[in-house]
Amino acid sequence: MTWLPAPKWAVAVLASVVIITIVVGTFFVLSELRRDALARVRAEVRGLSEVLAEQSSRAFEGAELALLAAQYRLSDSIGQQLGLESFPVSALLGARTAGLPQIRSMFVIDPAGQTVNTSLPSGPPVGSLADRDYFRYFQHGGQDVFISDPVRSRADGEWTLIIAARLVDEQGDFRGVLAVSLAVAYFDSFYQGLESVDRFRIMLVKADSRQVLASPADRAQVGTVVEGVPTGWDARARPGVHESVEQHASGLRFITYKPVPGYPFLIGVMVDEDLALREWPQTVGPIASFAVAVVLFILVATAGLMWSLHRRELMARALHESDARGRQLIQTVNDGIVMLDQCLSIVLFNPAAEALFGRPAATVIGTPLRTYWSRPFVTSVSASWGVVAKRGAACRPALARPRSPACTRRGRLLPPTPVSRQPCFAASASSASCCATSAPGAGSRPTCARAMSACRLYRQRCSVHAKRSVR
């Protein structure tokens, strides 16, 4: 398995950690925003159900009060003297229903089940209502106000709710039934008039789970049994909110049921998860886009840094290989080569130099040049190569361009110097190299081309190193 070098590995690990942190952090932020959005919607559903339950209760209460007021007038001494089909009773019914838009009509049924009077100007419809559940309730002795299941009106076929009360004569015998017909469409239009209700589904359900209406309007479901309605719920005794979550094909559905205070009805408000989060993308979009942009920027920056490190690695490898080749050349060349640093201390002493000078490299490396060469020669090297070496002080290179004091430009040796061996010098940006060759005889002028070639190779290596240092 091939591992990345340490710098590249560090950059890759750091970039990975940052990207993972951004991704995980963004995920958790978006999750929290989603959870908060659902919590707000559920709170909105709960609040809407409470408002609708209160408004529905007021609508039922207004209709019941009108019914009880008319019952009271028809049950007192004057009202019992009036015929149920008489005009004063019709006027009474019209007066009690005026100003109440939730009431379609108020009508009177005689003991035989026939409608004998109504608040409608057109008069009572023809037909018997003896089969209606509210009539049978009072016919068999019922006393309390009765609220029927949703039924279709036999006059116009519209869905309606009936609130009925018992009428008695002076002896307390059954005289008939006084009933109020509530317009289901009134509740539907009221629910549709609320703001932001388009994403909610609203239902008015009786305590026995029969649907009275649904908004958006779905008349085909009126009177059917609604699944999931809390059973055994006494709206009069248990005011509160019942919340549940159901799984549907489109996702989760949040449902809240709120009893209508004082009446056997429940207001159901439900919303699907996808509709609840309809506005969530508007919040998520900028956050996700920013996170993606940051991740892309990190990836681009990491790629650029990795490429730069790769180039540096290639250059360092090339420099190392060049240095190895130069050292191998110096160690194998037949000419003696001595390398000096900026302080004119010996840093390299090849085997040919060992044989030439009769000294092992271990005893020579690290010692000053003046230890083995005469002072005039050391002074000439120091002056020619722009090097200032002082004992006990830091040495520094001068700015003067170095020139070879012992070789001509053609690589030939100059006349002999006071030293016993004729050296040939070359220099680089960071060190001076002394390439020494033996002189076979007095006055002879052997070339130092091979030694100069080795020194030139070192000069090239030092030049590359200097350029990299500047960068």
DSSP states of 149-201: PPEE-TTT--EEEEEEEEEE-TTS-EEEEEEEEEEHHHHHHHHHTSTT-TT-E
Q: Where residue 374 falls among pLDDT bands split at 50, 70, 90?
A: confident
Q: Where residue 190 falls among pLDDT bands split at 50, 70, 90?
A: confident
Contact 445, 412 (CB under 8 A): yes
Q: Do domains 1-315 and 333-470 have the same CATH topology?
A: yes
The four Cα atoms 370, 374, 376, 380 give a dihedral, to 10 degrees, of -60
What integer pLDDT is reported at residue 393 of this predicted model?
44
Q: Residue 189 and residue 279: Cα distance in Å, rounded?
A: 26
**Domain residue ranges of the chain, discontinuous segments joined by +:** 1-315, 333-470
pLDDT at 75 over 80: yes
What integer pLDDT is reported at residue 177 of this predicted model?
92
What integer pLDDT is reported at residue 399 of this predicted model?
32
Q: How do beta strands 346-349 and 387-388 pair?
A: unpaired
Contact 96, 108 (CB under 8 A): no
User: Quick one: 7 exposed, middle or buried, by C-beta within 10 A (0-12, 13-18, 19+)?
Assistant: middle
What integer pLDDT is reported at residue 40 of this predicted model?
85
The four Cα atoms 312, 315, 316, 320 give a dihedral, to 10 degrees, of 170
What integer pLDDT is reported at residue 3 of this predicted model?
52
Please state which CATH number belongs to domain 333-470.
Answer: 3.30.450
> Of 224-233, 332-341, 371-380, 389-398, which gets the smallest average pLDDT?
389-398
Radius of gyration, alpha carbons of the chain: 54
What integer pLDDT is reported at residue 108 of this predicted model?
93
Phi, psi of 244 (to 5 degrees): -150, 160
pLDDT at 373 over 50: yes
- Select from 260, 209, 211, 210 the least CA-distant residue to 231: 209
Q: Where residue 142 falls among pLDDT bands split at 50, 70, 90?
A: confident
- Select from 107, 213, 201 the least CA-distant residue to 151: 213
> Of 105-109, 139-143, 237-241, 417-421, which gets the smallest average pLDDT?
417-421
- Select from 141, 170, 164, 143 the least CA-distant residue to 82: 170
Q: Where residue 457 falls among pLDDT bands split at 50, 70, 90?
A: low
pLDDT at 419 over 70: no
What integer pLDDT is reported at residue 467 of this predicted model?
44
Calculate mean pLDDT across residues 421-427.
Answer: 35
Dmax (CA) for the chain in angstroms is 165
Interhelix angle 87-97/6-75, rounded to 10 degrees, is 160
pLDDT at 220 over 50: yes
> Of 190-204, 246-260, 347-361, which gets the smallest average pLDDT?
190-204
What integer pLDDT is reported at residue 426 of this predicted model?
35
Structure tokens at 198: 């388009």
Calculate mean pLDDT across residues 11-33.
Answer: 90
pLDDT at 304 over 60: yes
Q: What is the pLDDT of residues 237-272, one digit of tens each?
A: 555 788 888 777 777 888 888 888 888 888 888 888
Calculate mean pLDDT across residues 214-219.
Answer: 67
Q: Residue 202 and residue 268: Cα distance in Å, rounded?
A: 6
> Of 156-170, 204-218, 318-332, which gets the smallest average pLDDT?
204-218
What integer pLDDT is reported at residue 65 of this predicted model?
93
Would the pTM of this model clear 0.95, i.e. be above it? no
Q: Which residue matches tokens 């080569």?
A: 337
What integer pLDDT is reported at residue 267 of this predicted model?
87
What integer pLDDT is reported at residue 239 of this predicted model?
57
- Which range is most confident: 121-130, 305-314, 447-456? 305-314
User: Quick one: 202 exposed, middle or buried, by C-beta within 10 A (0-12, 13-18, 19+)?
Assistant: buried
What integer pLDDT is reported at residue 442 of this predicted model?
32
- Select from 74, 102, 105 the least CA-distant residue to 88: 74
Phi, psi of 151 (to 5 degrees): -135, 160
**CATH T-level fold of 1-315:** Beta-Lactamase (3.30.450)
